[in-house]
Amino acid sequence: MVVIVLVLGLGACFGLSEADDRYNSGVNLLEEGRFEEAIAEFDQAIFLDESLSGAFHNRALAKEHAGRLSASIEDYTRSITLEPDLALAYANRAGVHIKLGDFHRALDDLDQALRLDDKSVLANNRHGLALLNLGNPEEALTSLDRAVKLDPEFFQAYVNRGIAYARLGESELALANYDRAIQLNPNYVVAYRNRGFEYLTQGEPELGIADLDLAIELEPGIASSHADRGFAYAGLGNLTAAVDDYSRAISVDPTYLNSYLNRGSAYDDLSKFEEAIADYGTALLLAPDSAAIYLNRGASYHAQDDLQNALADFEQAAFLDPSSPAAWYNLGVVHEDLGYLDQAATDYDQAVSLAPEDVNILINRALVNSTLGNNLLAVSDMDRVVEINPTYAKAYLVRAYAYSNLGKEAESQADIDRAVALGVDRAKAEKSIAEPTPAP
């Protein structure tokens, strides 16, 4: 592990104080990755001489690498107090703010670091990274270009620049930057992960899997690598392999929400609804206010014909997100299945108000209204569907049914003819109309 230190040990032995000895010992331990021992040595150096800004800085580094992030910020701040012009301390404190997700504070520190030393590769790279996390990829590129220009072999900057290009839709440039990072450091796991994810985004799952294989081989303990590879396998239709990878991701990080969601989806596709319901239940423990998870679990319950639990989940989804067309649509489907047609029609009304061009919602509302005797409303909905998609045969069949109920046999027969012209079997068209189904 490479650790950035503020000052190396003093070269000469003559005249070194005990504080200097402790400081140098801490530096050596820090470079060896023995962080807790390094902290102990810097503790002693600071006890003997509280003016050693470098000791506070390097103890902060050691604490950061040991995962004690809040404590490391305190030490970086003490170092800055003692030496306000120390650009590296601002850059490294910014790095901790980035890890904690406090990107605005990180940017403030990096602005100051660059005012003090605009040639700092580390500060320019982290400045770009902070801007990326604040949703400013174009501005981030300016800083990352500067970092690469200052040090053409700084591989981390190429990865961050690749992310910026990916977010700007420049896939080829993104891949080129990931390639360069890997060329400079063939063991850099982050580069393989990001390149693999970009391949997945571009619809090349085989290449994505190859990169994720390498990432996992280099560092098997990263949950997101397993989860991304599982997503790739799912895209290829290999759901068993996908489930295995999602399970590995969960074993690495039992709080990794997306793995439960994706494994639940894979179980749904495998018709293993009990397993899917269990995964969505665990996901809800992690994200209890997620309407989307209630929707997913409700669909799994519905697939099992467990209508009461499906209804409860769809009701909760609508409560959590009243602007979700899918929640109201699925409520309508379950109410329809339970025979509560008036309530189903009300649910579909709400869904249509939120998604007025969703043909599935319009079809279901038309069928319910026809059953309730509101055939003119059904015809109106199917007029809209035909306007949206003139080749949607089912719309003509539903309208034919409504016309038939209204006694308009000529109009009904004309719509059946249109459906047949679009490939529907005439005997089936004249016999029945397809039943509504829940939204996927």
The answer to whether the CB of 58 falls within 8 A of the CB of 30 is: yes
DSSP state of 323: T
Q: The whole model's pTM is what?
A: 0.76
Quote the mean pLDDT of the chain. 92
Distance from C-alpha of 77 to C-alpha of 46, rounded to nearest angstrom: 15
Q: What one-character DSSP code corresponds to residue 188? A: -
Per the CB < 8 A criterion, the answer to whether 334 and 311 are in contact is: yes
pLDDT at position 261 is: 96
Domain locations along the chain = 357-440
Contact at 8 Å (CB) between 436 and 370?
no
pLDDT at 10: 38
User: Quick check: 332 and 351 in contact, CB under 8 A?
Assistant: yes
In this prediction, residue 16 carries a pLDDT of: 67
CA 220 to chain CA centroid, nearest Å: 20
325 and 340 in contact (C-beta within 8 Å)?
A: no
Check residue 35 and give its pLDDT: 94
Round the CA-based radius of gyration of the chain to a whole number and report it. Answer: 30
- In DSSP notation, 267-282 reads HHHTT-HHHHHHHHHH
pLDDT of residue 130: 96
pLDDT digits (tens, 9 = 90+) for 339-361: 999 999 999 999 999 999 999 99
Q: How many CB atoms lie within 10 A of CB 124?
A: 28
At the second CATH level, the architecture of 357-440 is Alpha Horseshoe (1.25)
Confidence class of residue 169 from pLDDT cuts 50, 70 and 90? very high
b vs e for 347-365, b when ≥16 Cβ sit within 10 Å of the residue's Cβ?
bbebbbebbeebbbbbbbb
Residue 336 in this model has a pLDDT that exceeds 90? yes
Residue type, 47: F
Q: Judge whether residue 214 has pLDDT over 60.
A: yes
Share of the chain above pLDDT 90, in %: 87
